[in-house]
A = this chain, B = another copy of it.
Amino acid sequence: MSRTAPTPTAPRSGPDAKVRPDIIAAATRVFSERGYHAASMSEIAEIVGMRKPSLYHHVRKKEDLLFAIHEQMIDELIDETMTVLSSSESPSEKVRGVLRVAMSFVARHRDGVTVFLQERSAVSGERWNELVVKRDFYEQMVSRIIAEGTGSHAFVDVPPAIAAKAVLAMANWGYTWFQPGGPLTAEQVADAFAAIALQGLETR
Q: List, in ascending order, chain B residues with CB within 8 A of A162's CB.
A: 184, 189, 192-193
B-contact bits for A155-198, CB 8 A (1 contact / 0 none): 11011001101101110111011000000100001001101111
Pick from B36, B95, B201: contact of A197, CB below 8 A.
B201
Kindly report which residue of chain B lies nearest to residue A178, judged by CB atoms: B165
A interface, CB within 8 angstroms of B: 35-38, 92, 95, 118, 120-122, 146, 149, 153-156, 158-159, 162-163, 165-166, 168-170, 172-174, 176-177, 184, 189, 192-193, 195-204
- A35-B35, A201-B197 given as contacts; is B158 within 8 A of A166 (CB)? no
Beyond A158-B196, A162-B189, 5 additional pairs, beta carbon < 8 A: A153-B203, A155-B203, A156-B200, A163-B201, A166-B192
Q: List, in ascending order, chain B residues with CB within 8 A of A35's CB.
A: 35-37, 121-122
Q: List, in ascending order, chain B residues with CB within 8 A of A184's CB.
A: 162
- A118-B118, A172-B173 given as contacts; is B158 within 8 A of A192 (CB)? yes
Task: Decide if B203 touches A196 in the complex (CB within 8 Å).
Answer: no
Kindly report which residue of chain B lies nearest to residue A118, judged by CB atoms: B118
